[in-house]
Chains A and B, each alone.
Chain A
Amino acid sequence: MRVDIRLAATDGWVDTPDGRSHYIFGFVNITGVPENEIFNYRGKAELMAPPLVLQVGDEVYLTLTNVGTPTRPDLDDPHTIHYHGFPNQMAIYDGVPEASVAVPVGRDFVFHYKPLDPGTYMYHCHHEPVEHIQMGMVGPLVVRPRDYDPADPDYKTAYGYGTGTEYDREYFIFLHELDCTIHNLVATVQEPDWTNYKPTYWFINGRSYPDTIASTSACRLRQQPWPALIKAHAGEKVLLRFVNLGFQQHAIELLGAVMKVVGLDAMRPAGLYGEDLFYNKNIIYIAPGQSTDAIFTAPEAEDTYPLTLPLYNRNLIKNTLAGMGPGGMITEVQIFEPGTLPPQTEPNQS
C-alpha cells in the first residue's frame, strides 16, 4: 500500500511535572495539512516524535519539511530522517548529512522506504546527532508483518502468523533522557560541552511520571501527546515495544508479570536455522539505539479490579525529577475485568 507521511522539523517546549519547561527540537505530523497552513506548525514540535506505523510491503513516501526554529531563528540547522535499523539502506535515504543530503530551512525532501522485515525500529534526525537526538528529534517506528490482521487473533502478531508473537494490546515504552542544563544552553544560543552530559529528567514516551499516567488531553502536555499508561484485561497478552533513544542504558522492571522477549532490534531471537532463542525477563536491559519486544500476560486479580503493576527503571536514580522523587521513568500497568475496556485500534491507546 502506498503510504504518504509528512513531518515538519521545528522546535518547541515541553513540560515536566515539577513545573519547569524545556526547549526542544522535534518533529510534528503535518500529513494532509494544506501548504498555506504549514507555517502554523512552527514551534509545535512533539516529544516523542509521532510514531510511524508501517507494514511489510508498504511503499512509504516520507516527506520531511524543515520549517525552522522560531525560538532560535539564528540557528538555520538542516535536518534529516534516519530510519534506524532499515535493512540494506542506501545512502540517499539514510539521512546522514556527511554521506548524502540534509534538508535546509524552507525545503522538503522525500525519503522512500519499502519495509520488508517486521519489528520495532526507531527514527531520528542525524544532523549533528548528539544535539538533535538529545534535543528531541526521536520517535518509534513499527513495521507490522505482511499478514497482520487485527481482527484475527492468530494474525494479530508482532512478527507474523505462527511466530509465537500474538498479542491483544500493544504499547510503546520509548526511553529518552533530558539534560536541562544543555537544553537551556541551546535555548540561549550557547554551545554545550557534550562530554559533560548529565541528564536530570528521564522520560517514557516523552513524559516524566506522574505525567506518564495522565490523560492524553492534559492541556499543559499539548506537545507531549503520548501517555505511557498501560491498560489490559486480565488474561490478555500485552506487547511492550521498548525503544531507547537516550544516551544511557536503562533497566526497565515490571513487577507482577514475567515478560517474554520476542524481539531484539526488530529481529526474533532465532539462530541461523530458526532455533528458538526466546527467553523470559523481569527487567529489560536496553542500550541506546536498541529495541526490545516483550509480551506479558496480564494476571488475574483475586479480589478487585483494577490491579496495578508498577513499571519503572531499576536504575532507581532515573525515577526522579531533577533529583527529587518520585518521577522520571515510572508508569503503571492497570489490569481490568475482562469485557470492560474498548478494544485497542492503534498502539498505545489506553
Chain B
Amino acid sequence: MPTVNLWATDGYISTPDGKSIYIWGFTDQEGGSARLPGPTIIVKQEAPITETVVTVNLTNNLKEPVSLLFPGQENVKANGQPVQPQYENDILVSLTNHALPGETITYTFTAASPGTFLYESGTNPFKQLQMGLYGAIIVRPCDYTPHDSQYKTAYGAGTDTEFNREYLLITGEIDPDFHQAVEYGQPYEAYKPRYWTINGRCAGDTMLPDNVPHLPNQPCSSMIMMEPGEKVLIRYAGAGVENHPLHPHGNHTRLVGLDGRLLRNQNGGGTTDLSYKRFTVLTGAGQTYDQIYTWTGLGYNPVTNPIPTTLPNLRNMAIGHLGWTMWSGSPYLGQKGELPPDVVSYNQAGEYHLMLHSHAEPEITNWGAFPGGMMTMIAVYPSGTLAPHQGMLPTEAY
C-alpha cells in the first residue's frame, strides 16, 4: 500500500520579474525546503475488490499547527480515527485533525475513484493555503497500463478516456504583501493577488523544463508538448481561492471528469456519456477538471497544399517585439524560416506554439506587466520529433 512522507516547512520561490517570495509548503525530503506545489502523489488503484488505502505521514516543521485535507477521498482517518474538525473553546481552529509544531500525524484514506484531486492544509486555510500548503493527487484506475493504449486511460478501459501524454496544471494566486507579512509575523488584512501561478511558476518560467537549477523549489514545468493527432490528458486543479477561465488556443477540450469523477451516468449502467467540449474552462477554487485535448491541424504543407495567402515580406511585420519569439519563421509545421537577426527564437523543430492562458487577462501579468502569470504554451511538434518521455508521468509516485 502506498505510503507518502511529507514535511510542512518554509522556503522561497522566485518570480520572473526578480522577486523572491517567502512560502510555506510541503516537501518529501526530510530537511528539504518547501516546494510549490507540494509533491504530486500518484497512486494506482488495487484490483477492484481491494481497497486502495493510502498513508500520508505529515511532519510539521512550521511554528503553528498544520493539517491535510483530502477532498474527494473516502474513509479519511488521522492516527486511525475518522477525521474531525478541531475546536478550541467552541471556536473552529481546523477543518481536520492537525499536527502541532514538531509533531507527526498519520493520515490514511481510500482512493475510491480514479482522477485528479487536491491535498491541502485545513488549518487556518485562508492563510496556509495561500502560503502554498497544497499539492495534487492523481489516482490511476486499477487496469492502468502505460504501454497498452487501450489501458492507458484516466478512468479505466472502456471509459473513452484514453490518452497518449498527460499534463497536470495546478493554478494558484500570490499576494506578495501577504506572504511578507507572514514572514515577518505582521498582521495582514487585505488580500490582493499580484501573481498568478501554474504549478507554482509565473510565465515565462511556466514554459521552462522541469527541475531547472535556478528554480529549486518550483520544479514543475507547465509546458504542454504533443504531436498532431495525439490525445493529451490535461488535468486542471484549482488550488487557489479564486476562479480562472483557462483557454487553450488551437482547439476545445473535452471534459471527461470533474473533481475526480467520470462524467458518465453511472446509475444508468454508465451508458450515458456526459462529457462535453469547451474552449474556456472556468477552473474553480478547489475543483479539478480532466480533459482530453487533440490537435490535428489543417493539412497545409509547402509542396502539395500551400497556405491560401501570400505572406508579406516579414521585414514589414512585427516579430519578437519582446526580443524573443516562439515562432519558427515558417507557417508550416516542421519548417523553419528566416527571423529578424536581433530576435531570439526558442523554436526547436518548427513546432507550433498555441497559447494556454487565463482569459481574465490581468492574470497574465507579473504584478501588472505583460507577459506573465497564468500562461503557458501548447507546443505541437512535427510527428516523430518529440521525445517520447515528454508528458509521461509515472504510473505511481510517492
> Which residues of A approach B to under 8 Å, CB–CB?
59, 61, 78, 82, 84-85, 87-92, 94, 96-104, 107-112, 114, 126-131, 133-134, 192-197, 247-249, 264-267, 269-273, 275, 277, 287-290
Alpha-carbon distance between A87 and B294 when the two chains are bound, in angstroms: 10
6 further interface pairs, Cβ-Cβ under 8 Å (given A194-B361, A195-B368, A290-B245)? A90-B331, A265-B277, A269-B276, A275-B273, A277-B276, A290-B278
The answer to whether residues A99 and B245 also contact, given A129-B364, A197-B362, A267-B252 and a CB cut-off of 8 A, is no
Contact B361 A112 (CB under 8 A): no
Contact B327 A101 (CB under 8 A): yes
Most chain A beta-carbon neighbours within 10 Å: one of B254, B274, B282, B359: B359
Interface size counted on chain B using CB atoms at 8 A:
62
Alpha-carbon distance between A84 and B245 when the two chains are bound, in angstroms: 13
Contact B273 A272 (CB under 8 A): yes
Contact count A vs B, C-beta below 8 Å: 184
Interface status of B49 (Cβ within 8 A of chain A) = no
Q: Write the nearest CB–CB distance from B195 to chain A, whole angstroms.
A: 9
Q: Write the nearest CB–CB distance from B376 to chain A, whole angstroms.
A: 12
Which single member of B278, B282, B361, B368 contacts A193 (CB below 8 Å)? B368
Which single member of B193, B307, B312, B353 contacts A108 (CB below 8 Å)? B312
Alpha-carbon distance between A130 and B247 when the two chains are bound, in angstroms: 14
Alpha-carbon distance between A129 and B311 when the two chains are bound, in angstroms: 23
Most chain B beta-carbon neighbours within 10 Å: one of A97, A114, A196, A277: A97
The answer to whether residues A247 and B362 also contact, given A90-B298, A271-B275 and a CB cut-off of 8 A, is yes
Chain B interface main SS type: loop
Which single member of B252, B273, B276, B280 contacts A288 (CB below 8 Å)? B280
Contact A110 B252 (CB under 8 A): no
Contact B352 A91 (CB under 8 A): yes
The answer to whether residues A133 and B273 also contact, given A85-B279, A97-B321 and a CB cut-off of 8 A, is no
Contacts of A192 in B (CB 8 A): 368
The answer to whether residues A90 and B327 also contact, given A247-B361, A271-B272, A289-B280 and a CB cut-off of 8 A, is no
Contact B276 A271 (CB under 8 A): yes
Which single member of A194, A267, A275 contacts B370 (CB below 8 Å)? A194
The answer to whether residues A112 and B280 also contact, given A102-B321, A107-B317, A195-B365 and a CB cut-off of 8 A, is no
Which single member of B277, B308, B317, B362 contacts A267 (CB below 8 Å)? B277
Q: Write the nearest CB–CB distance from A60 to chain B, whole angstroms.
A: 10
Alpha-carbon distance between A187 and B309 when the two chains are bound, in angstroms: 36
Contact A272 B160 (CB under 8 A): yes
The answer to whether residues A89 and B249 also contact, given A129-B361, A130-B361 and a CB cut-off of 8 A, is yes
Contacts of A131 in B (CB 8 A): 370
Q: Interface code B298-342, partner A: CB below 8 Å = 1, 0 otherwise?
A: 101000000111111010111101101111000101000000000
Q: Which residue of chain A is the closest to B299 with respect to CB atoms? A: A88
Alpha-carbon distance between A271 and B273 when the two chains are bound, in angstroms: 5
